[in-house]
Structure formats: structure tokens, C-alpha cells
Amino acid sequence: MANLLLAVIYLAFISLGLPDSLMGSAWPTMYPQFNVPVSYAGIVQFIITAGTIVSSLLSDRITFKLGAGKVTAISVAMTAVALLGFSFSPSFWVLALWAIPYGLGAGAIDAALNNYVALHYSSRHMSWLHAMWGVGTVISPNIMAYALVHQHQWQLGYRYVSFIQIGISLLIVASLPLWIKRNNSETNTEDDPNHKETAKPLSLIQTISLPMAKEVMIMFLCYCGLEGTAGLWASTYAMQSRGISAEDAATWASYFFLGITGGRLASGFIADKLNDARMIRLGALILGIGILVTVNPTPWTFITMIGLILIGVGCAPIYPSIIHSTPAIFGEDKSQAIIGVQMASAYIGYLVVVPVFGLIARASSALWMPLYMLVFFVLMITMHEYIQRKRSIQSK
């Protein structure tokens, strides 16, 4: 039964990734049809991210009341309905309205699942489960590319992914007894009756006031702003730097996500041998190299492609390693609250960092993408090293 539940969680992580790379791969085709500027992708991303921030901050209370299984089932269903709405949107502003339930569903499932896995599974499984997110991000651009090349309709790409999400949500609903059985067999979980009698959700102020909470929030903001910039603007960067078509650019978005997926699969084999801090440093080294390689003045297109893949590989261990270390740093009783604010700060990175680059791309050029990413890369590593020094001092 434990393996069956793990398989369901794998599917849930795939469902997390499926919608995340659709906008980046479809937007070069979408915005001319809606007759809006290229930077309007940032508006949709802003709305989605605002919803994820709200639901992430509420995740401690919601998961405390409903449990991770029910939160996951409801959230996947919400994203499925929102994607279906995307596919029928006759105008940009209708698309923007459907982004609201999309964001609310995405934030709740992200915080609930990440905390559940951090508490119940090893670092190896955290890496592999986040690789399943990458599987979703690799699958969906190819679905969109198929819809664009063979059917010439981006709407069908969204519709196909929505149908997949509906199927996954039904499987999660069917698996709810497994979540309940797992929680009832363990102590100190969000669904354990004895635990609920003594534990209480933390308020936002209490959570932020915890030692090292602010630093890890800044780190998450930088990482997800960096990741979101690469995921959303890789296609546009490829078009402007290499002069490729919109149809070909749709597949370029998958190179970054291919790197993240492969990197997380590989990370799972070494994550239990290295600690979380070393995994983050290893990823940062590869990420920095990838950003520099992407700044490619030669006419060789494949070097830019390699740079995007390296960026993905470098990103691979960072996110799951930060999440997995949360219970050890802050305590299991506080991990859901901390992961909620981590998710919220991560989505603020999407909310601010990614749309701001859209304005830069509109005013100047998407060719500034590597330099823009480098700024947040440096700040992210600075915060990580500060946290490690602080932990080292506390342990003495």
C-alpha cells in the first residue's frame, strides 16, 4: 500500500509540472492572436502567482483541517478546470480570469505535497518526485508543439493537458483511503488525531519571526524568479537570439525542463550520500556555468541549447534540497507553516522577477535574459551561505 501511495504522489507531482511550461511554449503563438504585446504573458503570470501566494499562505490551516490527500485532489481538479477554461478563452482578459483558479489550486497542492514528502520520504525520493514535476514540464511543451504543428491550434494543447489533469485528479480521489491509512499509522502528522489536539497552525507573523525564515524566503524568491524566467522566456530568447520560428521555439522551452528533469533523476542517486547543503552547492555550480554558456556570441545554435539544458540541470537539486532540509532546520511541527511561506516567497519571485523581465524584453530585447538571471543567482547563493554559517554557529 505504501508503494501504491508513492505512485499516486508521483502522478500528483507530474500534474504539478504539466501546466507550468505550457504558457512559455504557447505564448509566441498566443499573443499575436489576442492582439496584445509580448509582455502580457507577465500579466497572466502575475494573476496565477498572486493566487498561489494566497493559497500557500493558507496552506498550513487548510492542510491542518483537510489533510494533504484532500488538498491535493481538490487542487489538481481546480487546475484542470482552469486549463480547460484557457482553451475556450475568446480574449486575453477571459484568459486572465481563468488564471485565478489556476493559481489558487497550484499553490495549495505545492505546499501540501512538499511538506508531506519532506516529512515522510528521504532526500532521494524528494529529488525523484520533483523529477516527476519535470516530466510534466517536458511533456506539456511537446503536447503544445503537436497541437501547433499538426492542428495549428494552441487551444487544443491546453485542452489535452486539461484532460490529463482530470484523469489524475480522479486517481487521487480514489487513493484518499491510502492517505488516511498512512497518516493514522504514524504520529506527528497533520492528520493524526492526537497531534491535532496539541498542535496549532502558526500565524504568518509567528512563521516569519522564526530564525532563518527571512533568509530562506529570499533564497526561494531568487531561485523561483530565476527558474520562472528561464521557463517562460526561453522560447522568446531562442527566437530573438537565433531567429528560429515560433513552432520550433515551442520545443526550445522543453530543453530547460529536460535538463531539470534529468538532473533530478540523477540527483536521486546521490542525494542520500551528500547532504542537502552540498546538493545545493553542486547545483549552483552547474547553474552558473549554464547561464554563462547561454551567453553565446557564436552562430552555433546548439551551444545555446546546451546552455539552457545546463541551467535546468543546475536548478534540479536546489529546490528539492531546500524543501527537504526544512523539517531539520525548523522542526517537523513548524515545517508546514515554513514551507507555506517558502512557497509564497517563491511565487513572489514569479510574480515580480518574471514579469519585470517581460517589461525589459518589451522595452529592449529578450537577449538580456542571461545577465538578468545572473543577478538573482548571486543573491540566492549569498543567502544560502549565510544560512549555512548561521546553522554552523548555532550547532557549536
Q: What's residue 222's pLDDT?
A: 93
Give the three cell numbers for residue 289.
556555468
Q: For residues 352 and 346, what is the distance between their CA atoms, to the nearest angstrom? A: 10
Q: State mean pLDDT over 136-153.
A: 84
Question: What's the topology of domain 2-187+205-395?
Answer: Growth Hormone; Chain: A; (1.20.1250)
CA dist 271 to 61, 125, 150, 288, Å?
A: 31, 9, 41, 20
pLDDT digits (tens, 9 = 90+) for 7-33: 888 888 888 888 877 887 888 888 888
Of the candidate ranges 62-76, 133-147, 294-308, the one whose mean pLDDT is the lowest: 294-308
293 or 244, which is more confident? 293
Q: For the chain, give the mean pLDDT.
A: 83
CA dist 253 to 85, 137, 181, 249, 260, Å?
A: 23, 9, 40, 7, 12
Residue percentage of the chain with pLDDT more than 70: 90
pLDDT surpassing 70 at residue 239: yes
**How sure is the predictor about 373, in pLDDT bands with cuts at 50, 70 and 90?**
very high
Q: What's residue 92's pLDDT?
A: 93
**How sure is the predictor about 191, in pLDDT bands with cuts at 50, 70 and 90?**
very low
Q: What's residue 366's pLDDT?
A: 75
DSSP of 172-209, one letter per residue?
HHHTHHHHHHHHHTSSSSTT-HHHHHH--PPPHHHHHT
Residue percentage of the chain with pLDDT more than 90: 20
Q: Please tell me the pTM assigned to this model.
A: 0.72
Q: State mean pLDDT over 363-373.
A: 84
176 or 181, which is more confident? 176
CA dist 50 to 147, 160, 345, 349, 364, Å?
A: 29, 25, 11, 11, 26
Q: What's residue 99's pLDDT?
A: 92
pLDDT digits (tens, 9 = 90+) for 85-110: 999 999 999 999 999 999 888 877 77
pLDDT digits (tens, 9 = 90+) for 304-355: 788 889 999 999 899 889 888 888 888 777 887 888 888 888 878 877 888 8
Of the candidate ranges 159-163, 203-207, 262-266, 321-325, the one whose mean pLDDT is the lowest: 203-207
Q: What's residue 343's pLDDT?
A: 82
Is residue 262 a contact partner of residue 283, using CB atoms and an 8 Å limit? no
Rg (CA), the chain: 20
pLDDT digits (tens, 9 = 90+) for 202-225: 777 888 888 888 898 999 899 988
Q: What's residue 380's pLDDT?
A: 93
Q: For residues 357 and 349, what is the distance between their CA atoms, to the nearest angstrom? A: 12
Q: What's residue 160's pLDDT?
A: 93
**How sure is the predictor about 196, in pLDDT bands with cuts at 50, 70 and 90?**
very low
pLDDT surpassing 90 at residue 257: no
Q: Where are the alpha helices (DSSP H) in 243-334?
A: 246-270, 276-294, 301-315, 318-330
Give the three cell numbers for residue 293.
554558456
Q: State mean pLDDT over 286-292.
A: 92
User: Taking Cα atoms as reference points, which of 58, 254, 39, 55 lies closest to residue 143?
Assistant: 254
